[in-house]
Amino acid sequence: MGGNYLWRQLHSSCPIQTINFRSAKPRNSYPSKKTLTSQSNKKLQNSSTSDSDIVKWNIAITTHMRNGRCESALRVFNSMSRRSSVSYNAMISGYLKNHKFDLATDLFDKMPERDLFSWNVMLTGYVRNRDLTTARALFERMPERDIVSWNAMLSGYAQNGFIDEAREIFDKMPLKNGISWNGLLAAYVQNGRIEDAKRLFESKMDWMLVSWNCLMGGFVRKRRLVDARSVFDRMPVRDEVSWNTIITGYAQNGEMEEARRLFEESPIQDVFTWTAMVSGYVQNGKLGEARTIFDRMPEKNSVSWNAMIAGYVQCKRMDMARELFEAMPSRDASSWNTMITGYCQSGDIAHARNLFDNMPQRDSISWSAMIAGYSQNACSEEALHFFVEMQRDGERLNRSSFTCALSTCSNIAALELGKQLHCRLVKAGYQTGWFVGNALLAMYCKCGSIDEARDAFQEILEKDVVSWNTMIHGYARHGFGAEALIVFELMKTAGIRPDDATMVSVLSACSHAGLVDKGSEYFYSMNRDYGITAKLVHYTCMVDLLGRAGQLEEAQNLMKNMPFEPDAATWGALLGASRIHGNTELGEKAAQIIFEMEPHNSGMYILLSKLYAASGRWSDAGKMRLEMRNKGVKKVPGYSWLEVQNKIHTFKVGDKSHPHTDKIYTFLEEMDLKLKQEGYISSTKSVFHDVEEEEKVHMLKYHSEKLAVAYGILYIPAGRPIRVIKNLRVCEDCHNAIKYISKIVGRLIILRDNHRFHYFEGGSCSCRDYW
């Protein structure tokens, strides 16, 4: 291209030779036939050269566009003295491929003459950009259409899930080809409309092999193996995709004998066939058979290795997974990510981090796996630190990383950090999807902001059963039983069928709100109304509901008559109810059974000790502490924390390690006088040590939740709620004291313990002392 241009410039600058007229012969005024022929040939030669130049310019434009050099392509285009429709089409197509739709549209509108190819290029560009409204308007404006135009419009609708619109285009097509039929069939399959796909398939005889495979694959994804096998058996010809699809179908559904039989029968056993068998055995927990097939493989690819490694990871056999990982001839990102995930799930975060640091190349899955690993292993600060580092590293934040970070905020109740994540979600366009939307909803619920949780719930465009369950459970934990049941009714109205988890949340809501009759009604009707058979967890909820309401005999009768043996959680619910209502005899019975089931459950020892202490049985309370020491049972230390200015501040009982300890303790000493003036009396029965009353009062004064509340009042601006989290159940004395404190300082104090939320305001609590 550049050479021809310089050549023309060079010769245009050469001086024209002068003619010597004295030596020239007289000129004939009429050209000869030879001259005319010569001139005609020169004109043809010049015309041919011009067309050749246009072709070269067009190739240059296409090359520049293909390499993303739009400005260079435009310079070539503008330098052309004459352009063809191909020149315009090359520019428009290039703009569209480089996502410069405005420039493409502007040039298309300026075209002196458009051909059918020009219209199709623009139409295809809009379809690829998912601007189907503009694409359809352009389609309707086209002066003529060919099969390419119709297929482009059909493909646009089909690939974006507008199946009915795709069918409308299909039905209007004057002529259909294999692309048209296969496009609609694939759209039906990919969108789960398998019956429509089946009807379309049966309306035509001469389908291509790819279409047979597509329909069979659709049946496999729907776990309709009988239909998939019917298609397979009727296929006029099969390829490796056909065999691999049906083998995978049987393997994924646990029918390994049939999968193995087909595998042995298959005339084509490529690496994908072998890998399908390995994956099948892995998914069905048959690692021995999987390893046998793996070792027999004549050829392995990274998918084969990763499938076998994933099998060991799923079974927590990280030593074998590591052995295979080290033996891999070539590792890809998936190999590294699988190992990192395995170590994280096994609690070996150090090994996971070591692998992460040594990865040759990380992707968003690698970062998300580490964030999830830290979050799941209670390393919340590290999880959030990794989230920040992921952004600094330039890795695009995906749904998984956002979800893991939100889950971390939920665990530590870091509401302000969660809100910042919410803002980023909005900018990224993720907030309305159910996957991230559910994590956002759970974050607000667990951080004690139920109003913002409700807003997040309403913003989820397509709510799934998890969305509804999370909202119901959120209201239940916050003590808003009536609201939880309203959402449950709305769920049914929306056509979402309740599941096991739904009913657990509903029964929990009734328990927290003391709605015994309503809870009993839901429990005994859930099989009839929703086809849900009550499991042990549902019976435990009912024991808790009845026990809290003081119906201890009814709770015991339910335990005797239920179709399961009560587990430690069920007996624990009865023990908790015995403590609330002071039934020492029943509490002892429940505790002894729990100790046999879970001899190292420190929480149950503490509950029984408190029951003895409340009854004045100090000797028995002391025996409990002694028994814990003899058995090596360690009491889980209680601690409370809150978020202030994006930092987490943690406190233990009697804690003096905080930088502002002096101010906190001074505040509590002053508050103690005000509390007594308001009529507060320490609930010393919460102390299960046989010491003097004055010492009991002193021991209660500096519990972790009181220290956290004091810090919140001092350093969180007035008008904003104080949100405190405690890892254990709030004690009776702290619960009583915080009610008085909320009235004295005029602040809303929200406390989340390991059981529920408490909203303290104006001297009362949302639980109405029923917890």
Residue 7: CB atoms within 10 A of its CB come to 10
* pLDDT attached to residue 697: 60
**Alpha-carbon span 68 to 72, nearest angstrom:** 9
Are 577 and 683 in a shared domain?
A: no
- Taking the model in full, what pTM does it have? 0.64
Q: Which domain holds residue 104?
A: 52-113
Q: Give the phi and the psi of residue 723 in degrees, each rounded to 5.
A: -110, 115
Q: Does residue 229 or residue 630 have the better pLDDT?
A: 229
Q: From 523, 529, 471, select the one nearest 498 (Cα to Cα).
A: 529
**Alpha-carbon span 272 to 113, nearest angstrom:** 51
Q: Which of 603, 620, 636 is a domain's end point?
A: 636
* pLDDT attached to residue 404: 83
Cα–Cα distances in Å, from 139 out to 73, 88, 90, 749? 28, 19, 20, 61
Residue 685 clears pLDDT 70, i.e. is over it:
no
Residue pLDDT, tens place only, 454-488: 999 998 888 999 999 999 999 999 989 999 999 99
Residues with Cβ within 8 Å of residue 189, at least 6 apart in sequence: 197, 214, 215, 217, 218, 221
Residues with Cβ within 8 Å of residue 216, at least 6 apart in sequence: 228, 231, 232, 235, 242, 245, 246, 249
Are 710 and 669 in a shared domain?
A: yes
* pLDDT attached to residue 432: 62
* pLDDT attached to residue 1: 40
Residue pLDDT, tens place only, 428-439: 777 566 778 898
Residue 27 clears pLDDT 50, i.e. is over it:
no
Residue pLDDT, tens place only, 368-394: 899 889 888 888 878 888 888 887 877
Residue 588: CB atoms within 10 A of its CB come to 16
Cα-to-chain-centroid distance, residue 502: 20
Average pLDDT, rounded, for the chain: 85
| 610 falls within a domain | yes
3-state secondary structure of 649: strand
**Alpha-carbon span 526 to 534, nearest angstrom:** 8
**Alpha-carbon span 758 to 719, nearest angstrom:** 18
Residue 771: CB atoms within 10 A of its CB come to 19
Are 580 and 668 in a shared domain?
A: no
Are 650 and 584 in a shared domain?
A: no
Q: Give the phi and the psi of residue 761 in degrees, each rounded to 5.
A: -160, 130
| 74 falls within a domain | yes
**Alpha-carbon span 672 to 665, nearest angstrom:** 10
Largest CA distance in the chain: 144
Neighbour order of strands in the sheet with 749-752: 647-652, 639-644, 722-726, 749-752, 757-761, 764-765
Task: Give me 26's structure tokens.
Answer: 């007289």
Helices first, then strands: H and E counts in the chain: 41, 6
Residue at token pair 């294999």: 178
Are 59 and 94 in a shared domain?
A: yes
| 490 falls within a domain | no
Q: From 100, 104, 99, 74, select the one nearest 89 (Cα to Cα).
A: 104
| 696 falls within a domain | yes
Q: Which of 592, 615, 636 is a domain's end point?
A: 636
Exposure on the CB side of residue 148, measured as CA atoms within 13 A: 12
Helix (H) or strand (E) holding 709: helix 704-715
Q: Does residue 546 or residue 580 have the better pLDDT?
A: 546
Residue pLDDT, tens place only, 294-318: 999 998 988 999 999 999 998 889 9
Are 590 and 607 in a shared domain?
A: yes
**Alpha-carbon span 262 to 282, nearest angstrom:** 18
| 387 falls within a domain | no
DSSP state of 329: S
Between 3-12, 144-153, 196-205, 761-770, the lowest mean confidence (pLDDT) is in 3-12
- Mean pLDDT is highest, among 114-123, 488-497, 726-735, for 488-497
Are 612 and 727 in a shared domain?
A: no
Q: Does residue 427 or residue 157 have the better pLDDT?
A: 157
Q: From 202, 203, 224, 201, select the one nearest 211 (Cα to Cα).
A: 201
Residue pLDDT, tens place only, 82-97: 887 788 888 888 888 8
- Mean pLDDT is highest, among 129-138, 362-371, 666-675, for 666-675
**Alpha-carbon span 303 to 290, nearest angstrom:** 14
Residue 551 clears pLDDT 50, i.e. is over it:
yes
Cα-to-chain-centroid distance, residue 142: 42
Residues with Cβ within 8 Å of residue 442, at least 6 apart in sequence: 406, 407, 410, 470, 474
* pLDDT attached to residue 607: 79
Q: Is residue 591 within 8 Å of residue 608, measured between CB atoms?
A: yes
Residue 408 clears pLDDT 70, i.e. is over it:
yes
Are 695 and 730 in a shared domain?
A: yes
Are 707 and 746 in a shared domain?
A: yes
| 572 falls within a domain | yes
- Average of pLDDT values for 616-641? 83
Q: Does residue 636 or residue 657 have the better pLDDT?
A: 657
Instruction: Provide the b/e sequence for 206-223 (b: ≥16 CB within 10 Å).
Output: ebeeebbbbbbbbbbbee
**Alpha-carbon span 217 to 480, nearest angstrom:** 47
- Rounded to a whole number, what is the distance in angstroms from the first to the last CA of the chain? 84
Instruction: Provide the b/e sequence for 342-364 (b: ≥16 CB within 10 Å).
Output: bbbbbeebebbbebbeebeebbb
pLDDT band at 57 (very low <50, low <70, confident <90, very high): confident
CATH of the domain at 597: 1.25.40
Rg (CA), the chain: 37
The β-bridge relationship of strands 639-644 and 749-752 is unpaired
Are 623 and 645 in a shared domain?
A: no
Are 677 and 593 in a shared domain?
A: no
Are 560 and 658 in a shared domain?
A: no
Residue 44 clears pLDDT 50, i.e. is over it:
no
Number of domains in the chain: 3
* pLDDT attached to residue 380: 81
| 151 falls within a domain | no
User: Helical H runs in 393-532?
Assistant: 399-412, 415-428, 434-446, 450-459, 465-477, 481-493, 500-513, 516-530
Q: Is residue 87 within 8 Å of residue 61, measured between CB atoms?
A: yes
Percent of the chain with pLDDT over 90: 43
| 673 falls within a domain | yes
Task: Give me 375's structure tokens.
Answer: 């979050």
Residue 216 clears pLDDT 50, i.e. is over it:
yes
Q: Is residue 280 within 8 Å of residue 251, measured between CB atoms?
A: yes
Q: Does residue 24 or residue 655 have the better pLDDT?
A: 655
Q: Which of 113, 131, 161 is a domain's end point?
A: 113
Contacts 24+ apart (CB under 8 A), 316-319: 316/342, 316/345, 316/346, 317/287, 318/342, 318/343, 318/346, 318/348, 318/351
pLDDT band at 110 (very low <50, low <70, confident <90, very high): confident
User: Helical H runs in 235-363?
Assistant: 240-252, 256-265, 271-283, 287-296, 302-314, 318-327, 333-345, 349-358
Residue 14 clears pLDDT 50, i.e. is over it:
no
Residue 578 clears pLDDT 70, i.e. is over it:
yes
* pLDDT attached to residue 699: 65
**Alpha-carbon span 31 to 33, nearest angstrom:** 7
DSSP state of 582: T
Residue 771 clears pLDDT 60, i.e. is over it:
yes
3-state secondary structure of 143: coil
- Average of pLDDT values for 7-34? 33
Q: Does residue 517 or residue 14 have the better pLDDT?
A: 517
Between 629-638, 648-657, 659-668, 737-746, the lowest mean confidence (pLDDT) is in 629-638
Residue pLDDT, tens place only, 231-251: 999 999 999 899 999 998 998
* pLDDT attached to residue 614: 73
